[in-house]
Structure 1
């Protein structure tokens, strides 16, 4: 076994040199003469030849793996732990490599997390795809689902420690701090749903080592694998926005349904009936739950970008957006301003090592809140409020052809990628409008999202020759998913023949959305499907709304008959 060592510290010079010498002596005592590279104050001493490929590369201190030589395995150790007992650190590192080599013939151990904005469909479909892929490839896998009811089947520290690779299949930001020192692959949920085996193969070949801080390394016993890649650096605007939406949804659901119940008990003027039960429900829904919607959206967009230091500035910006009248659009802007401001300040502000702890609890929240607050008050707040007011007025005034066109657009978007970015863009737009008392687009979006699975179920019954036996058998389950507003139930059908299935589904969803808007249907809850209709006043024009969904399903079914080839 060949060994190489890199020691680095951006703030100290003497300690890295002493640690390197201690490791040199400890290695010599074991009959080893590894090359040792020391990086201090921009200088590199004893640089390791890039052509060297050791079996084990021990990274000590603040070593960024970028630019380090390739190695069979990377391990990490803390400088202070080395100075206390270099021999013990080296022994632990070598024992870890020996154990890993001894277990080379065992099945590959994989742990994974799946998550999506609503935490209902994609979360569990991705988990099932990964499990099937691992079984196909002969690997062991444990999947933690972070769904709408929280984490299920949580990964234990022992399972994480034993894992060879970690897969994060998520459309929202996931906390990966517990995977420090592990090879991690980040992916959307769609690859896991479409081909879990291919995603697992990609993870085994392309997963990158996730960074471990010195403190984490020391707590782990002085040695572990690591990378210093920022966890949020690869997350795009879409993922940040969907993280905010996922945390906002519970406030929207609770608030909308409580307001609907208030109207059921006290009529449309329930908010004016002081001292009544209906007034209490209205206060909880409209004055409490809805008040927190925009701050939650902004706060968790910022959290997705900048981690915990971004949460307070984002929520403060969200409160200001609500006070100014900028609504959900202002909340989105506040979240991105706070997140990126805190993220870049975290990189630019350098403090002595002993004061670094002040950054996340004092400097970053203070400066982030200041930057975000001033930007909302003096720069973006009022223009955004004016734009939102104009949008609200236009939507409320829509009638006839204009309403039908908007409904067709929103409904059709729900079926374009069934849970993907286009679908979620329509959903986020309509959900945000609930805070401004605009409920028609939400009804069109839910109708458009329910139609694809229902249309497919209807087609499997009316035109069975155009579907496989397995598809016909899964028809009733697909219908139940449609009734629950889980559009992803249509994905297995679309995966077989997307160029024919998706246009048919888009046609039906656009029809449902257009009829819903034209009939004036309004929906106060952003999820729940047909079951929301059981709650008084949650859906207006219930029968017209049901007609819209039925018409869209019929259009999709007959479009599928015309586009799909007969299989038998």
Structure 2
């Protein structure tokens, strides 16, 4: 059982290692385009310069590839080359179904294991040459696609609608409790469907002149990447070489309010990282709610400071969230084995 869990982590890390450059491309280009354009009250990031708009479009294109690449190379880790195409298909479907990176992980594992199973079929020698380029990708894609569409589609849509209605009912109650819930939602899937429900709810409240809901969300948005980036600096021996490099990118993306900067860490070690960032973001949002932080822009992170009400409260909330995230995740993690870093350097 322990060996199987180790292999599962290796498959995850294979997907993560190929995904990290995509995250960096998307995050950095979007971050620069927003930073150089700024934000406007009630409108968020407004990019009018054609060059910066093109930069933002390139970054968005990279982000659109993030989940498919993650899924494709998880499947590659399990089944080698025959798993890549079905994994990519499953990742694209995860995006279309708004299942986020968690859906991409599921799609990648399904594609990988199905492709490996079909690879093991005993077939006539005349069929062997077409198995990896025809039979395996088509059959695996059909199985993965069918499972994603018929099992994950409607349940996710219903869950998202239910969560939106639930948040609306909570908005008239305790602001701190609502902030705790939304902070956890923001961190749970880092840009995925659960994150988007909370974010869009806060953005909708801006349109109604209520800024103290988006304020806590803005603090929660940047906490996961900043918290994980700081965690790698505080305890580098607990992270692989790839993760330490991703930490620098996470810090840059966190400053611009890109929660996806924490995805490489969550994908590689979800059982430790996701609870840690959820707690950190929840506390960050709650502290912001206590200080009655308001955000006039539908965006998060330090970049929105010019349109924040109670800037000191916002900064305190983010710093507290970063500290909580880093301390919790580092207390849960163990030092990585030296051979993991060696293997990554050899692979590179």
Q: 2:19 aligns with which of 248, 262, 275?
A: 248
For 2:126 and 2:142, the matched residues in 1 are separated by 25
**1:367-411 deviations in Å (ceiling 9; x for gaps):** 11121122223332332344356557768987522323665x79x
For 1:433 and 1:367, the matched residues in 2 are separated by 28
Q: 2:176 aligns with which of 400, 420, 444?
A: 400
> How far is the alpha carbon of 1:550 from its aligned partner?
4.6
Q: Find the counterpart in structure 2 of residue 387 from structure 1.
A: 159
Change (3 A) 1:297 1:454: closer
**1:506-553 deviations in Å (ceiling 9; x for gaps):** xx999864452232799989xxxxxx96xx559996755542355478
For 1:432 and 1:512, the matched residues in 2 are separated by 18
**1:17-40 deviations in Å (ceiling 9; x for gaps):** xxxxxxxxxxxxxxxxxxxxxxxx
**For the Cα contact (< 8 Å) 1:299–1:313, is it kept in 2?**
yes
Change (3 A) 1:368 1:512: closer
Change (3 A) 1:318 1:392: farther
**For the Cα contact (< 8 Å) 1:271–1:282, is it kept in 2?**
no
Q: 2:30 aligns with which of 259, 284, 288?
A: 259
Change (3 A) 1:262 1:514: same
* Structure that is richer in strand per residue: 1
Q: 1:285 aligns with which of 56, 59, 75?
A: 59
Q: Find the counterpart in structure 1 of residue 317 from structure 2.
A: 548
**For the Cα contact (< 8 Å) 1:431–1:442, is it kept in 2?**
no
**1:332-363 deviations in Å (ceiling 9; x for gaps):** 3322221221121122x212345433222221
Report the secondary structure of 1:430's partner residue: coil
Report the secondary structure of 2:122's partner residue: coil
**For the Cα contact (< 8 Å) 2:100–2:189, is it kept in 1?**
no
Alignment pair present for 1:372 and 2:144? yes
> How far is the alpha carbon of 1:313 from its aligned partner?
0.4
Q: Find the counterpart in structure 2 of residue 312 from structure 1.
A: 85
Change (3 A) 1:326 1:538: farther
Q: How does 1:175-186 map to 2 (within 5 A)?
A: none
TM-score for the superposition, normalised by structure 2: 0.54
> How far is the alpha carbon of 1:366 from its aligned partner?
1.4
> How far is the alpha carbon of 1:302 from its aligned partner?
1.8
Which 5+ residue runs of structure 2 have no aligned equivalent? 200-217, 236-244, 252-275, 326-348
**1:112-139 deviations in Å (ceiling 9; x for gaps):** xxxxxxxxxxxxxxxxxxxxxxxxxxxx
Q: 1:429 aligns with which of 189, 194, 207?
A: 189
TM-score for the superposition, normalised by structure 1: 0.36
For 1:523 and 1:451, the matched residues in 2 are separated by 25
Q: How does 1:320-359 map to 2 (within 5 A)?
A: 320-347=93-120, 349-353=121-125, 355-359=127-131
Count of aligned positions: 255
Structure number, greater radius of gyration = 1
**1:56-79 deviations in Å (ceiling 9; x for gaps):** xxxxxxxxxxxxxxxxxxxxxxxx
> How far is the alpha carbon of 1:255 from its aligned partner?
2.1
Q: Find the counterpart in structure 2 of residue 164 from structure 1.
A: none
**1:95-117 deviations in Å (ceiling 9; x for gaps):** xxxxxxxxxxxxxxxxxxxxxxx
Q: Find the counterpart in structure 1 of residue 259 from structure 2.
A: none
Q: How does 1:65-144 map to 2 (within 5 A)?
A: none
> How far is the alpha carbon of 1:295 from its aligned partner?
1.1
**For the Cα contact (< 8 Å) 1:455–1:552, is it kept in 2?**
no
Bigger relative contact order, structure 1 or 2 (CA pairs below 8 A, ≥6 apart): 2
**For the Cα contact (< 8 Å) 1:255–1:289, is it kept in 2?**
yes
Q: Give RMSD over aligned pairs.
A: 4.9
Alignment pair present for 1:443 and 2:222? yes
**For the Cα contact (< 8 Å) 1:271–1:278, is it kept in 2?**
no
**For the Cα contact (< 8 Å) 1:302–1:311, is it kept in 2?**
yes
> How far is the alpha carbon of 1:324 from its aligned partner?
3.3
Q: Find the counterpart in structure 2 of residue 517 from structure 1.
A: 285
Report the secondary structure of 1:350's partner residue: coil
